[in-house]
Amino acid sequence: MSLPALILASGSPRRAEILSSVGLIPQVRPSGALEHRLPSDKSAKTWALRLAVEKAAVSTRLNQDAITIGADTMVVLDTEPLGKPSSEEEAVATLRRLRNKTHRVITAVALDGRFGKWSGWSYTEVRIRGLGDVEIDEYVRSGLPLDKAGSYGIQDKAFNPAEVIKGCYLNVVGLPLCLTVQLFEMAGVHLDVECADCNEPVNTVSVC
């Protein structure tokens, strides 16, 4: 099956870059779906899955001949989801909480289109190194972490926050290619794509 027009229902430049890096050039059309937590969102996983599915569905209604990708990333410390910081002060506090600890990153991905609906999630463990207060302050002042869940970008090489990564690296960036390829395969679209820096990925897929 040939690939129809591809819509990315997300304004994340990192997700668009990941797709473009393997030759999948999406039309970027953020869905505008609200991201607040509902009582039915019993865990970070179910919350992320719901948001990814809703984002894809909203965009599909406006682009019925396309296949749409929705995604949502959660950073979870113990059982607490850590979202995007609302201020520099919150970003500093979050990074101080994360240093010298292992946390989980969950990214849910959903495909939606005339061929059907598929979704799943990927799980990665990340241990943040012993960040110093001064380098945290300088990193936050750079503005780089202010649009990122957990207040850091794994790909920010100068800051280099991660000490150990177990699972899919691109999951932490915001879009696990290994999972995305699985979902396309379920849709009948074969992609000859490998997920870079991916070790022992933990992915779960389902039919919506």
Question: Which residues are designated catalytic?
Answer: 72
Amino acid at 160: N
The dihedrals phi and psi of 46, each to the nearest 5 degrees, come to -65, -35
Angle between helices 88-98 and 133-141 (to 10 degrees): 140
Amino acid at 164: V
Closest CA to 163 of 77, 87, 84, 99: 99
Q: Whole-angstrom Cα distance, residue 130 to residue 161?
A: 9
- CB atoms closer than 10 angstroms to residue 164: 10
Which CA distances in Å does 198 have to 44, 67, 93, 176?
22, 25, 29, 9
State the Cα angle at 18 between 16 and 22, rounded to 5°: 110
